[in-house]
């Protein structure tokens, strides 16, 4: 199976956003404000990657997708540093109130999600840390694949 820059630019944000939503809605790991900040560039990357599928000869779209993915990775690095208390964050706590019903009850019963406390870790690496690692390596791989594909053309 041949991995292409366009394929990776589409698969990476889809996989990471899918994992984020599964962890949120299946496992109850609610995102903090900085977790949301990491998702936004992946949404942009999806738009750029879909444009790359529609216009396969344009290198601009997968390059923009790679830069958006890298942006998410850099936000993840900052967030991981806040979680590991290497530096202070620029936000407090965030809550996730559910839509519908009594708005006051929803706000009062919503879980408080702190940005400086990891919701989950594996081998001492938080979800923000994994986003940094996966997004950064993935973005660099997309850029390398684009360069290699350009050299073959």
DSSP run (H or E) holding 121: strand 121-122
Burial 5-30 (b: 16+ CB within 10 A, else e): bbbbbbebbeebbeebeebeeeeebb
- End-to-end Cα spacing for the chain: 20
The residue written with tokens 């202070």 in the block is 88
Q: Are 93 and 36 in contact (CB under 8 A)?
A: no
| Mean pLDDT (the chain, rounded) | 88
Q: Give me the residue spans of the domains in the chain.
A: 5-86+93-152
pLDDT surpassing 80 at residue 6: yes
DSSP string, 17-72: HHHHHHHHHTT-----HHHHHHHHHHHHHHHHHHHHHHSTT-SHHHHHHHHHHHHH
The pLDDT of 8-32, averaged and rounded, is 95
Whether residue 39 has pLDDT greater than 50? yes
The whole-model pTM stands at 0.82
With beta carbons less than 8 A apart as the criterion, state whether 142 and 70 touch. Answer: no
Q: Between these two residues, 121 and 82, which has the higher pLDDT value? A: 82
Q: Strand pairing of 112-114 and 121-122? A: unpaired
Question: What kind and span of H or E run contains 10?
Answer: helix 5-25
Decide if pLDDT at 96 tops 80.
no
Give the residue among 123, 135, 138 at the shortest CA–CA distance from 38: 135
Quick one: tokens of 35? Answer: 């977790």
Top pLDDT among 34 and 106 is at 34
**Among 1.20.1550, 1.20.1740, 3.30.70, 1.10.10, what is the CATH number of 5-86+93-152?**
1.20.1550
- Give tens-digit pLDDT for 100-139: 677 777 667 766 778 888 888 889 999 999 999 999 999 9
């Amino acid at each position: 199976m041949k991995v292409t820059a366009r394929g990776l630019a589409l698969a990476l944000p889809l996989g990471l956003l899918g994992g984020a939503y599964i962890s949120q809605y299946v496992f109850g790991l609610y995102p903090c404000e900085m977790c949301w900040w990491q998702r936004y560039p992946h949404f942009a990357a999806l738009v750029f990657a879909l444009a790359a599928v529609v216009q396969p000869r344009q290198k601009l779209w997968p390059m923009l997708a790679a830069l958006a993915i890298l942006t998410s990775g850099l936000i993840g690095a900052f967030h991981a540093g806040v979680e590991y208390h290497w530096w202070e964050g620029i936000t407090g706590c965030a809550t996730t109130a559910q839509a519908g019903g009594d708005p006051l009850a929803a706000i009062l019963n919503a879980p408080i999600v702190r940005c400086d406390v990891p919701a989950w870790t594996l081998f001492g690496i938080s979800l923000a840390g994994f986003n940094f690692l996966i997004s950064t390596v993935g973005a660099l791989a997309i850029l390398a694949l684009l360069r290699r594909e350009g050299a073959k053309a």
